[in-house]
């Protein structure tokens, strides 16, 4: 496993941009077969939405029609290195809320919901995201209004933020994006389209990888982001608490359907966890100096605004190798 670019320089650059205060859940690092690629290496970490100390990363995304649903806010911007893998490799994505520590809460305990992983050629095209792993509700709750056990809280948060997936067997060499996602359904009894202060909360995060080897398996047609999820999908509108009430005047559903397509038949049926080696990189990050709010990017230094610019996602239709950090 190799990294394009300077890991130390990239980590240093990232730490000037991100802060942990009030941050929502996103990926801090990726292990390949148990070897840590380093904090924020290869990860298109979501932008912050306000100045220190009140802004936070990974807002989350709630608008199903937004391009931000693809790889989050500023997800079209490459990071200056790519993680190299081979078919069959096990990726362990480490999600966190405040810091890369064993005491971090990973994600709010109320944010019950499913988790999914997709893969797409980099850059994505129409219908290029293929689902290779998913987990939803895997146990019923005990007692009234008990939400049961979910991927986000009982599994991933319960296991220190670790989400495991394997690179598909025989996958052709090339550049790809891994799109990993956690979804909070704690306010999903109504859609965001009908009530913008509620709705399902999406936490997508994309990772740049290069698949090596002589594989000959091409990805099938997948789905697009936005477009994969619809406002009336049963996995998008779901009351995690109503589903466990013992008495109610409204009909309640105890089963859950994970949104999006089915998992590709070429994906591994099982993704066992692997023993992880030593952690590489910082555990916390320093105060950020750039943020985006309502498509306006603000840059500051020592609390003083230096300038603003307008942001609009610009996804390229051709691959451009990330510029390595000196």
Residue 77, pLDDT > 50, answer yes
Residue 12, pLDDT > 90, answer no
Query: By residue range, what is the domain housing residue 86?
Result: 7-310
Average pLDDT of the residues of the chain: 88
In a domain, residue 133? The reply is yes
Q: 152-164: string of b/e by CB count within 10 Å (b at 16+)?
A: bbbebbeeebbbb
In a domain, residue 326? The reply is no
* CATH number, position 268: 2.70.50.70
Tell me phi and psi for residue 271, to 5 degrees. Answer: -130, 85
Q: What whole-number distance in Å separates Cα of residue 154 and Cα of residue 222?
A: 29
| Global pTM value | 0.90
Q: Which of 110, 113, 65 is nearest to 257 (CA)?
A: 113
CB of 46 closer than 8 Å to CB of 40 = no
pLDDT of residue 285: 72
Q: Which two tokens stand for residue 158?
A: 């319960």
pLDDT tens across 175-207, in order? 999 999 999 999 999 999 999 999 999 999 999
Contacts of 166 by beta carbon, 8 Å cutoff, 6+ apart: 88, 89, 90, 91, 132, 267, 268, 271
pLDDT tens across 81-114, in order? 999 999 999 999 999 998 999 999 999 999 999 9
Q: What is the 3-state secondary structure (H, E, C) of 219-261?
A: CCCCECCCCCCCCCCCCCCCCCCHHHCCCCCCCCCCCCCCCCC
In a domain, residue 181? The reply is yes
In a domain, residue 258? The reply is yes
Cα-Cα-Cα-Cα dihedral sign, residues 179, 165, 120, 79: positive
Q: What whole-number distance in Å separates Cα of residue 292 and Cα of residue 71?
A: 15
Classify 32 as helix, strand or coil.
strand
In a domain, residue 119? The reply is yes
pLDDT tens across 288-309, in order? 899 999 899 999 998 899 999 9
Q: Which residue has the tokens 């990363």?
A: 57
Burial status of residue 100 (CB atoms within 10 A of its CB: 0-12, 13-18, 19 or more): buried
In a domain, residue 31? The reply is yes
Cis-peptide, bond into residue 226, ω within 30° of zero = yes
Domain count, the chain: 1
In a domain, residue 192? The reply is yes
pLDDT of residue 241: 85
In a domain, residue 135? The reply is yes
Q: Which two tokens stand for residue 17?
A: 């941009």
pLDDT tens across 219-265, in order? 999 999 999 999 999 999 999 887 665 555 566 778 899 999 999 99
Kindly calculate the radius of gyration of the chain based on its CA atoms and give it in whole angstroms: 19
Q: Which of 301, 326, 299, 322 is nearest to 207 (CA)?
A: 322
């Amino acid at each position: 496993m190799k990294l394009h670019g300077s890991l130390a320089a990239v980590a240093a650059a990232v730490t000037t941009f991100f802060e942990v205060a009030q941050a929502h859940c996103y990926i801090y690092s990726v292990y390949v077969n148990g070897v840590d690629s380093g904090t924020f290496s290869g990860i298109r970490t979501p932008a912050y939405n306000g100045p220190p100390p009140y802004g936070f990363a990974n807002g989350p995304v709630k608008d199903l029609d937004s391009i931000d649903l693809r790889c989050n806010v500023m997800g079209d911007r490459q990071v200056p290195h790519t993680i190299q893998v081979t078919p069959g490799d096990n990726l362990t994505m480490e999600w966190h809320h405040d810091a890369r520590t064993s005491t971090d809460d990973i994600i709010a305990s109320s944010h019950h919901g499913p988790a999914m992983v997709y893969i797409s050629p980099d850059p994505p095209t129409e219908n290029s995201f293929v689902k290779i792993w998913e987990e939803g509700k895997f146990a019923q709750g005990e007692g009234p209004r008990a939400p049961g056990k979910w991927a986000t809280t009982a599994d991933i948060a319960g296991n220190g933020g670790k989400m495991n997936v394997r690179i598909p067997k025989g996958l052709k060499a090339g550049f790809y994006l891994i799109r990993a996602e956690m979804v909070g359904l704690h306010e999903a009894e109504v859609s965001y389209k009908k009530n913008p202060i509620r709705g399902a909360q999406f936490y997508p995060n994309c990772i740049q990888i290069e698949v090596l080897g002589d594989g000959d398996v091409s990805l099938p047609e997948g789905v697009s982001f936005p477009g994969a999820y619809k406002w009336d999908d049963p996995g998008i509108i779901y009351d995690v608490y109503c589903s466990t009430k013992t008495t109610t005047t409204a009909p309640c559903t105890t089963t859950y359907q994970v949104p999006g397509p089915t998992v590709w038949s070429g994906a591994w049926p099982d993704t066992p966890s692997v023993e992880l080696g030593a952690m590489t990189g910082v555990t916390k990050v320093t105060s950020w100096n750039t943020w985006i709010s309502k498509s306006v990017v603000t840059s500051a230094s020592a609390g003083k605004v230096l300038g603003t610019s307008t942001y609009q996602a610009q996804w390229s239709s051709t691959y451009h190798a990330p510029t390595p950090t000196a």
